Chains A and B, each alone.
Chain A
């Protein structure tokens, strides 16, 4: 039995998850970018990886796609150990990197053809696959066009087609809609959803767009500071945040007591000050809190400029688990500060 076969057989006792990450660690010198993350992705599932900038999402995806060596732990992709059998992993995955890397001087078809050749797809199969993926991403009539003539959305579709041209089983997409306008973004979502249905693909997506994760993903993992901080379906994650509703209230003037007063209302679990006089209130009962708010404002003679009630969104989940601090601020602490001029 070959190593590959042994490798696979060892994990074939039960239902094999498409991706299984166990206590995975990545260190760059003394810096630990990923600190013992574990999760698994079932066959045919769309799994979202969320996290702020620098959380370790891209490092995780790069470890799973054999691009970055794993420092500790284990990653199994399609039943193959990434560290022991990277070549077998590469044959069954498709990867869409964050940047648009298709060759601008080549045509759409040439880009696809070269990648199919890199995966060793034979001529007949290659031509069939290219036509199929072009149909899937709706670029058939652009097959002869040079890539530099395509719009951003079309180029992103081409990247997706490129990742599919060898008919992979598992698809990794690193921020697939970053930089796209809303219409193109929705088109990509629809396309990915169709691909999942028609090709029974397992997908792992990293994204900054909560709406995207909510619409596309069956389950979501939130990563922060290299650690997994939450994992579940979008609904489970929303329910895990204290407060079922979000009340957004805007008073016509700011006083230093509003936050305190709002936190004292019945059912309120947290209050976030957005700007002067504008608050986001997480509550277990949106209707009750709304009524109380109106009564409170009337009693104090204050005017409400606007009031809205929403269900908890993934944005709230994200903020709840990762906090509101901008990650760039951490970098600023190390930034050079111009010393004062003598005598100034």
Chain B
């Protein structure tokens, strides 16, 4: 036990003496949170939409007024007058404008005659975000115009009423769980993977192996230190990220306890996984080469940036055995939903089982000799 603590002490002293690991493990997730959180979180504003009016009737004026209302209120787009549909289409194609509304001749007459009036909308669907935003705005505008001026006494159409359980979740808040898990992963990758192999290559482990320390003490000492480093990275990023994203979770003791339990479980799982992968590696280049591959292979299928249900089956299969998936699910359940321990018990069970399981496999593989 004391020997295990000696290994732990050595690792932690080095960790605190040289804060590079801590800074490096948080740098990428923080930058990701700031850049992606702000880049993807906002709504489209200021797109240019042409109005080609061949009608000039009262109903065409209503359309133009509705579009002007969008421009001055939500500001998804501003309107530009065009006289030629072909020119407008061409300008959408070349990117001068983002869309074009075509009001055909006889549009007003058809509205009044209830003779299947139609509006045209040309969008550049190579940019899904902009085109879907414009489509959505125009669709709601058309729906509003279709609504009868006087509500009928008996409503026959089906209405859907939305109930959003949680307050508005910005993309930065959505991304925070991924960033926290990424910070822990990087900490484990550098602190538990790269430094472990570097120490091996430098002969530090040779120094341990000539002492009476047992295999279990050595493995546990190294892993305990690796897990604690990851926990510290996870806590730091949770606090900083929550403040940046405007989440008050960290000020509630119960949620803080849930977060801490989940971070501990994730750190053990990540560390066990990394140790199992590195236990027989001697070349310092291997963990460096694996860093990017593992990051892509484990982080992206986990649901950190896109929902798992949208993935193909083979990618969903990776997500099932990926500890990132459970960490991110658990973090979202606490940070965004305040779901309590009940909502994360499955995640905790997987993470602790995975961590202990990988360590149990890795320990016999660890060589007590060179």
Contact = CB atoms under 8 A, between A and B. Distances in A.
Contacts of A65: 210
Interface stretch (B4-12, B142-150, B169-177): B4-12
Contact of B203 (A97, A106, A120): A97
A101 B6 CA distance: 16
Contact of A67 (B2, B13, B206): B206
Contact of B212 (A90, A97, A99, A103): A90
A6 B288 CA distance: 49
A101 B208 CA distance: 10
A221 B18 CA distance: 44
A110 interface: yes
Interface residues of B, number: 24
Given A117-B5, A120-B2, A120-B3, A90 B210 contact: yes
A108 interface: no
Given A101-B204, A105-B17, A114 B9 contact: yes
Contacts of A93: 210
Contacts of A68: 369-370
B6 A118 contact: yes
B14 A66 contact: no
Interface in A95-153: 95, 97-99, 101, 103, 105-106, 110, 114-115, 117-120, 146
A110 B207 CA distance: 15
B212 A87 contact: yes
B211 interface: yes
Contacts of B3: 117-118, 120
B315 interface: no
A10 B208 CA distance: 29
B13 A110 contact: yes
A98 B211 CA distance: 16
A104 to B, nearest CB: 9
The SS class assigned to the B binding surface is helix
B203 to A, nearest CB: 4
A118 B211 contact: yes
Interface in A229-284: none
Contacts of B203: 97-99, 101
Contacts of B210: 65-67, 90, 93, 95
A69 interface: yes
A67 B3 CA distance: 18
A91 interface: yes
B202 interface: yes
Interface of B: 2-3, 5-7, 9-10, 13-14, 17-18, 202-204, 206-213, 369-370
Interface of A: 62, 65-69, 87, 90-91, 93, 95, 97-99, 101, 103, 105-106, 110, 114-115, 117-120, 146, 162
Closest 9 CB pairs of A and B: A117-B6, A118-B211, A105-B17, A99-B203, A95-B210, A90-B212, A101-B203, A105-B14, A114-B10
13 contacts: A65-B210, A67-B370, A87-B212, A90-B210, A91-B212, A97-B206, A97-B207, A101-B202, A103-B14, A114-B6, A115-B207, A118-B7, A120-B3
